[in-house]
Structure 1
Amino acid sequence: MPSRAVDEAWHGFILCTARYSRFCEQAYGRYLHHHPEGSAPADIAGADDPIDVQLGRTVIAWSLVAESGEHCVLWDLDEKVGVDHPWGVNLERVAAIQAAVTTLDRGR
């Protein structure tokens, strides 16, 4: 999770099980399980990948669905809203991943 603020909100949302389940079905077509760091079952691919690899997948997923010129608010949200001890994401790393996705997309 690239944002402490979103992580806290998501944990609160999970506690509202009926609403959370309904949201997951509408947004993802299935229930999205929560696996705190290191607690995912062994058969879930990529769950134990290093955080940088997981971040890379998140950036790629965002890049594939974002409209042209659309900015993802997650990368620096904590800092913008004044969260104590913000997590944040290295914006240079995000830009490099997005550039690689753009390059691959043009190659199709």
Structure 2
Amino acid sequence: MPNIALELGKQSVASGIGRAYGDAIDVDGVSVTPVALTISGFAGGRGDAGEGGTGGGAAIPLGVYVRREEGLRFEPNIVTLLAVAVPFVCVTGRAMTRIIRALKK
């Protein structure tokens, strides 16, 4: 019997690029290619009660590549950009206030 976790892991690696970059779509003469951050994981084990395994994954849309006559350009997903930027700005602001307070002493 094949090891299911190993087989799922091989399939995940083989199709990783296909999951991160979607198929190009033509809309009104403009080619659009979606881009996402994909994460997947699989685990298997052998316990007293028998064999078992699990797996899961997630995809976070980052934006699209847009190909026009002018050239290729990346347009980010604003919602994802804000979700990443807000915690970064908070941490940076807190760090800057501590640095400024330390320099004043």
Q: Identify whether the pair has TM-score above 0.5, normalized to the shorter chain.
A: no
TM range (shorter): under 0.3
Higher strand share: 2
Higher helix share: 1
**Higher normalized contact order (CA 8 Å, seq sep 6+, divided by chain length):** 1
